[in-house]
């Protein structure tokens, strides 16, 4: 995108330089072309540094001893609409809350076991060397003890109510997360549709701007327009090309958001 703008600006500068040297063009047109070329070169250097910084950040994330570049553009396929029962329980955050809710439910159900008596079994072998007259060398003892509290001051009832409150809180958290997940999926699909339309319009505008640039350059060569109009057409074409790239990235981001909302990324 910017590289194309640089090539166009460099060609325009060479053309205006030859016109000035031939006594047809003006020094002003040459300076204007040089200004546009320098501006585009500054932009591409800034973009190159941003790419380098992104590569270093990716290398840090992947624990690599150096920058890491990507291999092509990521392709995020739009999944077909599936029943909610297929994708909602597969989200990692939903899985966590479902497991937490089930664990709290088991605690509530097991609260009745707090009323059961407590049993304790003790086994004690003994070896005596040398054996005595009235004491054998090998003996053992086995005892069993059952205990049941008679009065506990409502402790077990309070503990059950506390477990029920925790279970209800986990149920409410799960329901709230499910509502948010449904909303995220709906918004992600709507964002994909809107951003794809924006991308199509941006591409059409960029194509028109490039055609205008070509016509403006031809008209300038024929002496029908000024160098200012060429520079304006170059700037407009460059800006619209940048908008197209941003729109393409927005579409990829929207598709990624949909995959995340459906629990399909990462896998």
Q: Supply the pLDDT for residue 2.
A: 62
Contact, 144 vs 121, CB < 8 A? yes
Q: Please state the domain extents for the chain.
A: 1-72, 78-115+154-267
* Cβ atoms of residues 93 and 121 within 8 Å: no
| Cβ atoms 2, 207 nearer than 8 A | no
Report the residue count for the chain. 267
pLDDT of residue 116: 85
Distances (CA, A) of 194 to 54, 78, 164, 200: 27, 14, 45, 10
**Tens digit of pLDDT at every position of the chain (267 positions):** 566 777 777 877 887 788 778 887 788 878 888 888 888 788 888 888 988 898 899 889 888 888 888 777 777 888 888 899 989 998 999 999 999 999 999 999 998 888 888 889 999 888 877 777 777 778 888 998 888 888 878 888 899 999 999 999 999 999 999 999 999 999 999 999 999 999 999 999 999 998 998 898 888 878 788 777 887 888 888 888 889 989 999 999 999 999 999 988 876
Which pLDDT score, from 0 to 100, does residue 107 have? 92
Domain 78-115+154-267, CATH homologous superfamily name and number: Outer membrane efflux proteins (OEP) (1.20.1600.10)
Instruction: Report the pLDDT value the prediction gives residue 181, as an integer from 0 to 100.
Output: 95
| Beta partners for residue 126, in sequence order | 139
Instruction: Write down the pLDDT at residue 42.
Output: 87
DSSP E strands in the chain: the ranges are 118-127, 138-147
Check residue 207 and give its pLDDT: 93
Q: Residue 120 in 3-state DSSP?
A: strand
Q: What is the pLDDT of residue 66?
A: 87
What are the Cα distances from residue 85, in Å, to 82, 89, 91?
8, 7, 11
Please report the pLDDT score of residue 40 as a whole number: 78
Structure tokens at 250: 């927005």
pTM above 0.85, yes or no: no
State the Cα–Cα distance between residues 109 and 7, nearest whole angstrom: 75
Closest CA to 105 of 158, 160, 177: 160
Taking a C-beta distance cutoff of 8 angstroms, is the pair 33, 12 a contact?
A: yes
For residues 82 and 162, is the Cβ–Cβ distance under 8 A?
Answer: no
Hey, what are 139's tokens? 């003996």
């Amino acid at each position: 995108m910017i590289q194309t703008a640089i090539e166009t600006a460099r060609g325009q500068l060479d053309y205006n330089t030859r016109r000035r040297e031939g006594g047809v063009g003006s020094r002003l047109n040459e300076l204007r072309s040089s200004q546009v070329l320098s501006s585009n070169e500054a932009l591409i250097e800034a973009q190159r540094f941003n790419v380098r910084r992104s590569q270093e950040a990716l290398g840090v994330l992947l624990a690599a001893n150096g920058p890491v570049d990507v291999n092509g553009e990521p392709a995020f396929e739009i999944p077909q609409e599936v029943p909610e029962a297929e994708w909602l329980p597969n989200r990692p955050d939903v899985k966590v809350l479902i497991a937490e809710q089930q664990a709290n439910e088991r605690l509530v159900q097991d609260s009745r076991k707090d009323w059961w008596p407590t049993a304790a079994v003790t086994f004690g072998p003994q070896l005596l060397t040398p054996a005595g007259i009235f004491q054998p060398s090998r003996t053992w003892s086995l005892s069993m003890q059952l205990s049941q509290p008679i009065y506990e001051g409502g402790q077990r009832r309070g503990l059950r109510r506390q477990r029920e409150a925790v279970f209800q809180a986990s149920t409410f958290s799960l329901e709230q997360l499910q509502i948010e997940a449904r909303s995220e999926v709906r918004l992600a699909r709507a964002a994909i549709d809107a951003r794809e339309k924006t991308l199509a319009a941006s591409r059409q505008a960029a194509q028109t701007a490039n055609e205008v640039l070509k016509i403006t350059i031809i008209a300038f060569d024929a002496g029908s327009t000024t160098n200012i109009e060429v520079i304006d057409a170059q700037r407009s074409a460059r800006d619209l090309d940048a908008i197209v790239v941003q729109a393409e990235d927005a579409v990829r981001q929207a598709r990624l958001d949909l995959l995340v909302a459906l629990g399909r990324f990462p896998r």
